[in-house]
A and B are shown apart, each in its own frame.
Chain A
């Protein structure tokens, strides 16, 4: 069974540009999460989808970040316009939900904003 995949693995853009990150969850997982790790800090939650609905977006830093999950399958996270402090590794995770709700992580997208 394929795990969570993310594209691209790396992205280098200039300040002010737009970047879109994609996450494909494990097939059948209704729950999809975005997290971010900036340099030297811990992994932090951004938002949570259940199918196509945003369940919790309390971790989104500001309105330059837009996440979508049309159709309840893959998700995209767009940063527009990107700022220097957006640099970091963006992780996606998926899970079945329920009691344990183990979250399975993708390898992340390393974003560098110059």
Chain B
């Protein structure tokens, strides 16, 4: 089976930087995804990592270490609209194309 852990809640200040961690255990790792989900809306794709290292997309970056089973999502220059849940999901070669999700991290950005 797979186990994906991420913090339940985080709070940060507008304009600051926040790092959301995700650890996973999987037998046939084949990619890690980050999604953003505002309440009542569709999870929106943010990033994909399959090789070690940092992927940067504007204010958002995602890092992966396969040897440590660890990823983080880094959000810079936080804006109020970044308040949302952030979902970490892993794809496993031994489980087809399905994604296995963590419970999500609810981020609150305060003025």
- List the interface of chain A (C-beta within 8 A of B): 3-4, 31, 33, 35, 41-45, 48, 55-56, 58-59, 91, 95, 97, 100-108
Contacts and interface: CB of A to CB of B under 8 A. Distances in A.
Size class of the B contact interface (CB-based, 8 Å): 20 to 34
Contact of B33 (A58, A102, A108): A102
A46 to B, nearest CB: 9
B7 interface: no
Contact of A56 (B44, B50, B89, B97): B97
Interface of B: 4, 31, 33, 35, 40-45, 48, 50, 87, 89, 91, 95-104
A55 B101 contact: no
B99 A45 contact: yes
B40 A107 contact: yes
